[in-house]
Amino acid sequence: MARGGGNRSRLLLVILLVTSLFFITLDLRGVQVTKGSRSATQSFLAPVQKGVSDIFTPVGRFFSDIKDFPNQKNQIANLESENAKLKTQVLVNKDIKGQLAQLKGVLDLAGRGGYKVVSARVIGHGSSSAFSQTFTIDAGSSDGAAVDKTVIAAHGLVGVVKSVEAHSAIVLLMSDPAFKVGVRIARNQSIGVLSGTGGNSFSLQLLDPAGDIEKGDVLFTNGSDNNRPFIPGVPVGVVTSVDHSSSTLTQTASVKSYTDLNNVGVISVVMSAPSTLPRSIINPTPAPTVIVYVTPTPSPTSSGSPSPSLSPSVTPTPKKAKP
Amino acid sequence: MSPVRIALNATLLLLIFVIQETLISPARLPLSGFSLYLAVLLSLVLLENRTGAVILGFVGGLILDLSPSSNAPFGQWALILTGVAYVIAVNAESIDEIVSRPVGLGLFVASGASLALILFLILGSLLGESAGSFGRATIVISGNFFWTMLITPFFMPLLLTIREVTIGARERI
């Protein structure tokens, strides 16, 4: 092993430390040179990651299947019983479906959804040693993806596009500690901020001191200005426990996301949300009004003096015309 | 350290960086996995004198700063790894033939990697980055320590061979 050093190495150390600090300052001041170097790396790495993902995904699945082999029998039994239940459920659903079709005509449920999306495959994961939670996806600016677009999976929110190249993009996951999203509680429409914690649970803090959270409350995204970075109405997660301590002004809770971020293979980047909410004019149909006319009518009495008595006559309006 | 060897080491580190980003990070190993890149870099640093270690730490840090998944400002890893490389080089001088002692080598490199991660967290906090809960950070750092200690003795012979091939006659003296 070579030995050496002294003043020369200490001088070099100081020079290189100062150079590093210079780079950090440039980056924090938003100089494009340093940002460009990361974009170039991403452009280079994305095809490699895609190739490696294509090669090693089947291998990984093979090994995970071997690992889960003892559980397979139980899984099959569970699936068979679940299948039987589902068959019964299908029969019941036919009746519900008919009712739902009628309800659908009355209520405009189509206000939700209708997002235009671009689907993409997850081709890489961020390094855990960088303490950031990211995905690399195989859709980029050439596919329409752009920075600050909402990313969703089959069951709800995944994250937001952090940076984009021609054929790839980096998605900041909702589990990243730097991730924050405005949410509303479906039950009482209270709004709050959901933050990632680096793990599988999330932290929710209400904005309204008078608002309340209950275990089982369902959370949706509240939406951002011009739908960037977040479109409204995307399912986020469910409240698993509520913190009742009085140390904070507003209530806080732990949340479990609908999307299992460890098992996401295909995601969608939301390109645009419906531009308007359903705001059709509602004409309330008036209910039939019942008018009661009271007229005094004389009735014969033993004294012969007339005394008024009430005999009501009921006239419902409007009347149906008889044919 | 000759410019040629700096370039060769940088190429090797770039290759390890690509392996790290494409193969190891997506593998989702237990205990949050590990950074092969940090392990290789700090092992290379061990083989150098102070001057060489500082240069290698700086170059290695710049390559790690290129990681597109990193939220840290460009230069943060360079700053930390330059300092850690110097500390490792100074301390390695007091341990004779550390590369021939697998357990000691593993412990030394793993400690260096953990120190780098802790400094990264501290500097990140000072710069306003959030790195998650204390528990999560502890799992990542201890997981990295465990894995690094485990794998370092296995690739060290390969690094020694590469060094023997690439080192010049003047540096050998």
Please write the tens of the pLDDT for every residue from B68-124.
777 788 888 999 999 999 998 888 887 777 777 778 888 888 999 999 999 998 988
Contact between B132 and A198 using a beta-carbon 8 Å cutoff: yes
Contact between B127 and A28 using a beta-carbon 8 Å cutoff: yes
With tokens 């210079």, the residue in question is A22
Summarize pLDDT for B20-61 with one digit per residue, the tens. 877 777 766 777 778 888 889 998 888 888 888 999 999 999
Largest CA-CA distance found in chain B, in angstroms, rounded: 50
Q: Work out the angle at residue B159's Cα, subtended by the Cα atoms of residues B44 and A40, and round it to the nearest 5 degrees.
A: 65
Contact between A27 and B74 using a beta-carbon 8 Å cutoff: yes
Restricting to A residues 42-71, those with a Cβ less than 8 Å away from any Cβ of B are 42, 45, 48-49, 52-53, 56, 60
pLDDT tens by residue, chain A, 323 residues: 444 457 888 888 899 999 989 888 888 887 766 667 777 777 777 787 778 777 776 666 666 666 667 777 788 888 888 888 888 788 767 656 655 554 444 333 333 566 777 888 888 887 766 678 888 888 888 988 899 999 888 778 889 998 888 888 999 999 888 899 999 998 888 889 999 888 778 999 988 888 888 899 999 888 888 888 898 888 899 999 988 776 777 788 999 998 888 877 778 888 877 665 544 444 555 556 666 777 776 655 544 444 444 444 444 444 444 43
Q: What is the pLDDT of residue A182?
A: 93
Q: What is the pLDDT of residue A153?
A: 82
Peptide bond into B3 cis (omega under 30): no
Q: What is the pLDDT of residue B151?
A: 87
Closest CA to B39 of B96, B94, B84: B84
Restricting to A residues 147-206, those with a Cβ less than 8 Å away from any Cβ of B are 163, 170, 176-178, 196-199
Contact between B61 and A129 using a beta-carbon 8 Å cutoff: no
Q: What is the pLDDT of residue A132?
A: 80
CA atoms of B141 and B38, how far apart (whole Å): 12
Summarize pLDDT for A262-271 with one digit per residue, the tens. 877 778 888 8
Termini Cα distance of chain B: 12
Query: Nearest CA to CA, how far is B19 from chain A (Å)?
Result: 9
The tokens of A185 are what? 């509680």
Q: What is the pLDDT of residue A300?
A: 53
Summarize pLDDT for B132-172 with one digit per residue, the tens. 778 888 888 888 898 888 888 888 888 888 877 776 655 65
Residues facing residue A196 across a β-bridge:
A202
CA atoms of A156 and A159, how far apart (whole Å): 10
Extended strands (E) in A178-258: 180-185, 191-196, 201-206, 218-221, 235-243, 252-257
Q: What is the pLDDT of residue B116?
A: 92
Name every chain A residue with its beta carbon within 8 A of the beta carbon of B170: none
With tokens 């490199």, the residue in question is B109
